[in-house]
């Protein structure tokens, strides 16, 4: 302990574990012993276990306009949950995101766990019999990222990808569910970061023969389980009914159905959503009647039942529920009055029944034609600090007839 001879290692570790990530990165240069401590898996786990301020991360992208063009994530922001402002103004603006994608792909921000952001891109073509899914795990605080082995699938009508964490083995896992015309019974593939490999799983019988994951719902990870909301769909009207909730235990790797609140089978809903608030699972169901949108939001309680959290009546503009902030306000994706094809993110106060802008953020510029946005709880961490940044230059063709490829930037100027 040459840099601090008067402190025991236990005391030093306890002090360091309470510091934010960026000072820790600088302190790694003090001496070899400090670098060894801060870079160890044991310290990383201890640092994660100490609860700190967490904010909401917003990532937005846009689709490239040309076949041979690549566009990265445009904006990256950390939002103060209580005041609707950037937690750190320096994060506002274009970001040198290490994962870019071409046209004819489906970029998707899967989620954020322990400071890791999971991003996926699916490469498909109308006449292809295969789909290729590329996934990256990225820690923006320490500027480390890893690319997963590509997953090649028999082309499904639909697929859904979710991100989870198993604390018992300190392992990050990704699950891809696929089903469609070729895949008559749903299949799933599980990736483990510890093994750096995909493993295929099969259902013996169709677990939900009359239902499917809708285009307008996302999954959620809470309590060691991934969750999917399934439904019957009328895509012509973008309406859904008769919902089911399924979970996947990340440690045990088993699926099970989760009971939902009582439903009226004759009621049709719009934009179903399953999300997380703190350590609780939320389900939001929207209704459209007489050109007015209404929302009911349920929270799962400890006994496995559900409690009605909000009933939001008659919002005039088309509105998609995104998440609930810690102060009780809702983040919604609201249609713009001046442009039917654009939307913007706003905060809605259910008590005052009022929308308000998330000032001073330029949200009117973020959700434009065909863009992708994601909101997730986010905390700084040292996860991936022991990984060597992967350059992995652009590969050759990723699909048999599309002739498109992922552009993977070669890192430069990485800081230890």
Task: Write the pLDDT tens digit of every residue in 6-27.
Answer: 778 889 999 999 998 989 999 9
pTM (2 d.p.): 0.79
Q: What residues of the chain score a pLDDT lower than 50?
A: 1, 63-68, 104, 126, 360, 362, 364-370, 389-416
CA distances from 345 to 64, 123, 127, 315 (A): 22, 28, 36, 15
Domain range list for the chain:
1-52
Torsions phi, psi for 12 (to 5 deg): -60, -45
Burial of 13 (0-12, 13-18, 19+ CB in 10 A): middle
Burial of 398 (0-12, 13-18, 19+ CB in 10 A): buried
Q: E strands within 68-157?
A: 70-71, 75-79, 99-102, 105-113, 116-123, 130-139, 144-147, 151-154
The residues facing 307 across adjacent strands are 299
Helix (H) or strand (E) holding 24: helix 21-27
Rg (CA), the chain: 22
Q: Using DSSP, how many helices (H) and how many strands (E) does the chain show?
A: 4, 28
pLDDT digits over 313-343, tens only?
A: 766 655 666 777 777 777 777 766 665 556 6
Whole-number pLDDT of residue 193: 93
């Amino acid at each position: 302990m040459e840099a601090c001879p008067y402190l025991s290692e236990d005391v030093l570790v306890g002090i360091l574990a309470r510091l934010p990530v960026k000072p820790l990165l600088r302190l790694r240069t003090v001496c070899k012993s400090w670098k060894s401590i801060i870079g160890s898996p044991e310290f990383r786990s201890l640092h994660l276990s100490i609860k700190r301020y967490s904010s909401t991360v917003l990532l937005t992208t846009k689709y490239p306009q040309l076949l041979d063009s690549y566009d990265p994530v445009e904006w990256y922001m950390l939002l103060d949950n209580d005041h609707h402002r950037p937690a750190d103004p320096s994060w506002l603006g274009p970001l040198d995101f290490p994962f870019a994608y071409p046209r004819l792909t489906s970029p998707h921000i899967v989620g954020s766990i322990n400071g890791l952001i999971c991003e996926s891109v699916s490469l498909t073509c109308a006449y292809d019999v295969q789909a290729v899914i590329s996934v990256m795990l990225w820690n923006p605080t320490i500027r480390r990222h890893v690319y997963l082995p590509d997953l090649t699938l028999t082309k499904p009508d639909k697929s859904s990808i979710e991100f989870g964490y198993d604390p018992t083995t300190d392992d990050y896992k990704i699950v891809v569910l696929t089903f469609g015309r070729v895949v008559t019974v749903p299949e799933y593939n599980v990736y483990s970061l510890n093994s750096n490999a995909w493993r295929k799983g099969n259902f013996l019988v169709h677990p939900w023969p009359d239902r499917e994951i809708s285009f307008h719902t996302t999954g959620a990870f809470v309590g060691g389980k991934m969750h999917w909301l399934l439904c019957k769909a009328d895509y012509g009207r973008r309406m859904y009914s008769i919902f089911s909730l399924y979970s996947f235990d990340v440690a045990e790797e088993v699926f099970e159905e989760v009971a939902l609140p009582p439903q009226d089978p004759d009621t049709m809903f719009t934009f179903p959503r399953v999300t997380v608030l703190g350590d609780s699972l939320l389900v939001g169901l929207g209704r459209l009647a007489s050109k007015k949108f209404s929302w009911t939001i349920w929270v799962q309680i400890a006994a496995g039942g559900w409690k009605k959290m909000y009933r939001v009546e008659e919002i005039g503009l088309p509105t998609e529920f995104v998440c609930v902030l810690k102060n009780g306000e809702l983040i919604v994706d609201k249609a713009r009055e001046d442009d039917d094809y654009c939307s913007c993110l706003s905060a809605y106060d259910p008590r005052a029944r009022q929308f308000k802008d998330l000032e001073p953020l330029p949200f009117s510029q973020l959700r434009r034609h065909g863009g992708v946005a994601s909101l997730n709880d986010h905390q700084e961490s040292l996860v991936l600090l022991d990984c060597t940044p992967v350059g992995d230059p652009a590969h050759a063709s990723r699909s048999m007839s599309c002739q498109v490829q992922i552009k993977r930037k070669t890192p430069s100027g990485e800081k230890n």
